[in-house]
Structure 1
Amino acid sequence: MADFPLTFTRLRFECLAEDALRFGEYRAGSNLRGALVNIMRRAACPYSVPALAGSAPYAPDPAHTATCPVCWLVAANESPGVERRGYVLTPPLNAPSFLPAGERFAFHLTLVGEAQRFLPYFVLAVPEMGRVGVGAGRGRFTLRRIVAERLNGAEEIILDEGETVLRPNFSMQSHCDVLARAAGLLPEGDPQQILELRMRFLTPMRLVWNERLVKTPDFAILFARLLERVDELAQQFAGAPRRAHEERIHFSQLALQVRLIEQDTRWVEVSSGSSRTGTQTWISGWVGSARFAAPRWVWRELLPWLVWGEAVQVGKDTVKGNGVLRLSF
């Protein structure tokens, strides 16, 4: 499927802690996403302002929803549980729960397909996030630099330290970049050679199968959820047609040939709170690593979609930082 139409842009936001930051370990993504959404609601969408007591809530019209980044990306959800968000957040990885003032940290935002047109709104929201503060105690930070990362390791500076104007000459990434990354990862050799792929799960991986949480790294289930996610993102944000049934069956059968040979994972209980609704939701999942074995020819077909999983994350709550994985042979 070399003509897979989805594209994406991955930005790294390099920041400096002005106060002590309490990220909360695996809640870091949820805390950052909450701060981001609150800023965007307040700054970009009049329908996000709470209605007066006793009055009916505001209902945005379709024309507003189509052009408003908050409604289109954050608030509006025409099909709850089905509709995908056009962005993912990758929290600071391996950062301590408590970050002293004066320390640097970085997080990432990835926008896909049509969602990339709203990139300036995200960029403008981050400095205000830092001014208002994030996490317990509302620790403040300043944005120092924005860098566009590419799958081949190249970087393009979008906003350097001391600058106030974005450089617009960066390019989005496509399936061709994904294929090149996959080809670079896969060792050369006999097609029948058994190769071991290591997956590192850096933030909670939360998968559901048959309405139940999956608490071990089952490759067939993980790959099925990954392919489902990538396909739905492509349909919703790039106008892609539905993948042919025969192709889905083909990939399902390939995934069943992959064997789990080693795992070092643990389940972490994580909750995410909403200041707007006052509710808590669970975003728990497994973290750690696992090794999977399969013939080289199987990996050759599956690897491009696994690389897409690196790019857009996998499972539930990716907008809150869940589902970050890394691949290596």
Structure 2
Amino acid sequence: MTDFPLTLTRLRFECVAETPLRLGGVRAGNNLRGALVDVMRRATCPYSVPAVAGVSSVPDPEHVAICPVCWLVAANEKPGVERRGYVLTPPLYLPETLAPGQRFTFHLTLVGEAQRYLPYFVLAVPEMGSIGVGSKRGRFRLRRIVSETLNGIEEEVLAEGETVIHPPRYSITHADVMERVDRALQTWRGQGIRELNVVFLTPLRLVWNDHLVKTPDFAIFFARMLERLDELAIQFSGSERRPYEERIHLQDLALQVRMIENDTHWIEVASGSSRTGRPTWISGLIGTARYGAPIEVWRELLPWLIWGEMVQVGKDTVKGNGVFRLVI
């Protein structure tokens, strides 16, 4: 698929804690996502709090067509089929509790047509900070928002101390991904087997044949990532389904990748649900795996691995799971 139609807007939210802030370590993504959705529900969608708004709990089709909150929770209607059009990348390498004045960042990536909802996300984050996040409702202040691209271009979407949003002019495209592939391959001169490290920074939770996968099998990891990318492109960028022959070709290439070293381990993580009142498991693999394959194999797989870095992979990506980085 030489002309992959997916586009992304990746936003970096730069924040500072105002009170002791317990983001929860590996639960930080889940805590931030819960606060984000709560704010958007109350501020944007009367059907989310019908008892307060005095409206029916069943939204009409016209409302659903334009409401970002109804769109945000649409994936609950067909679990595993519908994908959400945003990805949350939580703060990494932070202590359990942030002291007042300590800075942190997190990212939201909007996919395809979901980019039209950018103002709703931008407006919701300062409100999240004032209401509070985490077990003790620690508060933070949004300093500024920056849009990032793969080639190093940064655009200030919301400057510190301002209230005017400046929509970014540039989004991430397949051409940007291929430029990064070319730069990466330039560091691999000559032929033969080349090694690639994949660092799983937040829990990687993969399911294969109805079972949790507790080792970083590359073929399974790649198959789930390619499936996710294709479904996102179909749902949010109007893409046609990837030709069967191409999908099989890529999967056959992935089977040629061999694990050289596995330094990952499984961690058990539970998250609370304000909707069900019951905990849900967001456990998964973290750590580093090293893989080897001929450079001709990597040349075809790298574009999709780079896309995967940006949209994450596996279960619970909207809660911050599935963040990984390539070390070439």
User: Would the aligned equivalents of 2:203 and 2:321 in 1 still touch at CA under 8 Å?
Assistant: yes
Aligned to 2:129: 130
Aligned to 1:180: 179
2:117 counterpart residue number? 118
Question: Does the CA-based 8 Å contact 1:195-1:296 persist in structure 2?
Answer: yes
Q: Is the 8 A contact 1:11 1:110 kept in 2?
A: yes
Q: What is the CA-CA distance between 1:105 and the residue it aligns to? A: 0.4
Alignment of 1:1-329 (within 5 A): 1-51=1-51, 58-75=57-74, 77-186=76-185, 187-190=187-190, 192-329=191-328
- Alignment partners' CA distance in 2, 1:126 and 1:252: 39
Aligned-partner residue type, residue 72 of structure 2:
L
Residue 314 of structure 1: SS of its match in structure 2?
Answer: coil
Identify which range, 262-271 or 221-230, moves more after superposition: 262-271
Question: Deviations along 1:117-169, whole A, 9 cap, x unmatched?
Answer: 00100000000000000001000000001011111233111112122211224
Worse-superposed segment, 256-265 or 157-166: 157-166
Deviations for 1:2-38, whole angstroms, at most 9, x for unmatched residues?
2111100000000010011111111000000000000
Whole-Å separation in 1 of the counterparts to 2:227 and 2:17: 38
Residue-by-residue CA offset, 1:255-311 (whole Å, 9 max, x unaligned) = 000000001111111111112321110000010101000000100000000001111
User: 3-state SS of the aligned residue for 1:180?
Assistant: helix
Q: Secondary structure at the match of 1:43?
A: helix
- Assess, with a 3 A threshold, how the Cα gap between structure 1 residues 309 and 278 changes in structure 2: closer, same or farther: same
In the alignment, the residues of structure 2 paired with residue 78 and residue 175 of structure 1 have an alpha-carbon distance, to the nearest angstrom, of 30
Determine the C-alpha separation between the residues in 1 that align with 2:16 and 2:257.
43
Are the counterparts in 1 of residues 75 and 83 from structure 2 also a CA contact under 8 Å?
A: no
SS at match of 2:262: strand
Distance 1:179 1:58 in 2: 46
Residue pair 1:158, 1:170 contacting (<8 A) in 2 also: no
Q: 1:166 & 1:144 partners in 2: Cα distance? A: 13
User: Contact 1:84–1:232 at 8 Å: present in 2 too?
Assistant: yes
Identity %: 69
What residue ranges of structure 2 are gaps of 5+ in the alignment? none
Q: Normalized against structure 1, the TM-score is what?
A: 0.96
1:74, distance to aligned residue in structure 2 (A): 2.8
CA contact (8 A) 2:19 2:100 kept: yes
Query: 1:126/1:255 Cα in 2 relative to 1: closer, same or farther (>3 Å)?
Result: same
CA distance in 2: counterparts of 1:50 and 1:263, whole angstroms: 50
Structure 1 runs of 4+ with >3 Å offset: 75-78
CA contact under 8 A between 1:2 and 1:176: conserved in structure 2? Answer: no
Question: Would the aligned equivalents of 2:88 and 2:317 in 1 still touch at CA under 8 Å?
Answer: yes
Give the aligned residue type for 1:199: V
Q: Helix, strand or coil: the match of 1:107?
A: strand
Q: Residues of 1 paired with 2:168 and 2:146: CA distance?
A: 12
Cα deviation for residue 250 of structure 1 reads 0.3
Distance 2:134 2:241 in 1: 40
Decide whether the 8 Å contact of 2:147 with 2:168 is kept in 1: no
How far 1:76 sits from its partner (Å)? 5.7
User: What is the CA–CA distance in structure 1 between the aligned matches of 2:50 and 2:261, rounded to whole Å?
Assistant: 50
- Counterpart contact for 1:185–1:328, Cα < 8 Å: no
CA distance in 2: counterparts of 1:170 and 1:243, whole angstroms: 28
| Partner SS, residue 31 of structure 1 | helix
Shift of 1:63: 2.1
Residue 306 of structure 1: SS of its match in structure 2? helix
Structure 2 CA distance, aligned partners of 1:76 and 1:178?
Answer: 27
Q: 1:39, 1:169 → 2: CA distance? A: 23
SS in 2 for 1:120: helix
Which residue type is aligned with residue 194 of structure 2? L
Normalization by structure 2: what TM-score? 0.96
What is the aligned-residue RMSD (CA, Å)? 1.5
* Matched positions, count: 326
Shift, 1:98, TM fit: 1.0
After TM superposition, give the deviation of residue 78 of structure 1 in Å: 3.7
Contact 1:148–1:170 (CA<8 Å) still a contact in 2?
Answer: no
- What 5-or-longer segments of structure 1 have no aligned partner? none
* Matches of 1:168 and 1:246, distance apart in 2: 39
Q: Distance in 1 between matches of 2:236 and 2:166?
A: 24
Output the CA distance in 1 between the equivalents of 2:118 and 2:92. Answer: 22
Q: Answer whether contact 2:113 2:237 (CA < 8 A) is retained.
A: yes
